[in-house]
Amino acid sequence: MGRGDGTGRIVSPPDADDTGTRILHVDMDAFYAAVAVLDDPSLAGKPIIVGGVERRGVVSSASYEARRFGVRSAMPVARALQLCPQAIVVPTTFERYTELSRRVMEIFRSITPLVEPLSIDEAFLDVSGARRLWGSPREIAQLIRRRVLSETGLTCSVGVAATKHVAKMASTISKPDGLLVVAEHQTLRFLAGRPVGALWGVGPKAAEALLARGIRTVADVWDTPRSVLDRALGPAMGERVWHLSRGHDARQVQTERAEKSISHEETFSHDVTDLTVLRSELRRLADRVGARLRAGGWEAGTVSIKVRLSDFSTYSRSQTLPLATNVGQRIGSAAIELLSSVELSQPVRLIGVRAEKLRPDGTGGLTLWDDDEEWRRVDDALDGARARFGRGAVTRASVLGPRRDVGAMPTNPRPDHEH
């Protein structure tokens, strides 16, 4: 199985048997790093780290050349540069990622309406109804790879299988720029030799618990009594692993996925002690969260903050709101109140705001009055100005002064799922 750095990949021949398959998992290859190369071809073939500059922040993504030195997502950039001193650090460009992601998803939806995006750079497709127009699942996968490359300049890897779980495993193994087809009748043979940690949902702790009992491969799971799996993982996880190891996965492709949360974070280029700066930054981040809530038609029932100190100790606090909201002022006020409950024993390195318990906007029912009416008008004006002139063109006056002093760097608003 591939190790995440492009070595050990397995791909199918052009005429691979795709009997009984209908699910495709399409995953862009090192998406953020690939976009950097697309925009600056001189970076091709070089180790690239996408993330914070000046050795601060964390790695959002890395090219395969950098991964071969041990560089991984979520690693501090300083550590990544120790592992790969020759790496080139480039900043994140979220608007560009969003633009290319939209174009890729449009290609998928031109093939089949049954598309389930998992993140900005991957999706499941059910092509069972597209055969008469586009050919077999293997042929559709080949078509998608050609179109993504020709229309965006980026490569993707595709897994083709009878179930979501196996299709996702197959795309991971074929990276980068590969296609792996697992016919339905080949499913058990494909799974047998895979490490148990490759099963969907088996994280490092679960894998460690299984390894401690001598369960190293999927085939080992077959020979393990359910009672042993339940004791090692708990009944719910034990049952899931038992089924997935046998290729059982009844989940369908869901074309509508409700967001669970929306968040934005900031890593400062210099650690911050000034509470005025921190409160101002929370206001700015709350405005961004509120804008995304409104754009998606959501409101939040809970607001939480994340605070990381200079020694990397991290604290989170959350508050359930009396009424769900997508008003930036209300979210910011809750975030500032939460900050007062955190003991800032050291300077602050990172701060973030998250909206949780999302529900469709307006489902909370009518009230006799709207305490946020004036702030809603402010938000409407901000949204209109940003749509016309761009996100950085207008902001609250209250966040301008402190921002000049801290030199904050944006970090990934949501964890990047990169392969």
The residues carrying an active-site annotation are: 122
For 354, what's the count of Cα atoms within 13 Å in the CB-facing half-sphere?
Answer: 18
With vertex at residue 413, the alpha carbon angle to CA 261 and CA 60, rounded to the nearest 5 degrees, is 130
Nearest to 168 by CA among 146, 134, 201: 201
Binding-site members for Mg(2+) are 27, 121
Q: What's the CA gap between 209 and 215, in Å, rounded? A: 9
Q: How does 106-126 read in b/e, with b if 16+ C-beta sit within 10 Å?
A: ebbeebbebbbbeebbbbbbb
- If you write DSSP's letter for every residue of 276-324 in order, what string do you get? HHHHHHHHHHHHHHHHHHHHHTEEEEEEEEEEEETT--EEEEEEEEEEE
Query: DSSP secondary-structure letter at 146?
Result: H
State residue 149 phi and psi, 5-degree precision.
Answer: -65, -45
- Closest by CA position to 109, among listed 255, 251, 259, 257: 255
- Secondary-structure percent of the chain, ordered helix, strand, coil, rounded to 5: 45, 20, 35
DSSP state, residue 18: -
Binding residues: 27, 121
Report how far residue 361's alpha carbon sits from residue 170's, in angstroms, rounded to the nearest whole number: 38
Element (H, E) at 118: strand 115-119
Answer yes or no: are the C-beta atoms of 109 and 115 closer than 8 Å: yes
Quick one: 397 exposed, middle or buried, by C-beta within 10 A (0-12, 13-18, 19+)? Answer: exposed
- The length of the chain in residues reads 419
Shortest CA distance to 277 belongs to which of 379, 408, 393? 408
169 CB neighbour count, 10 Å cutoff: 25
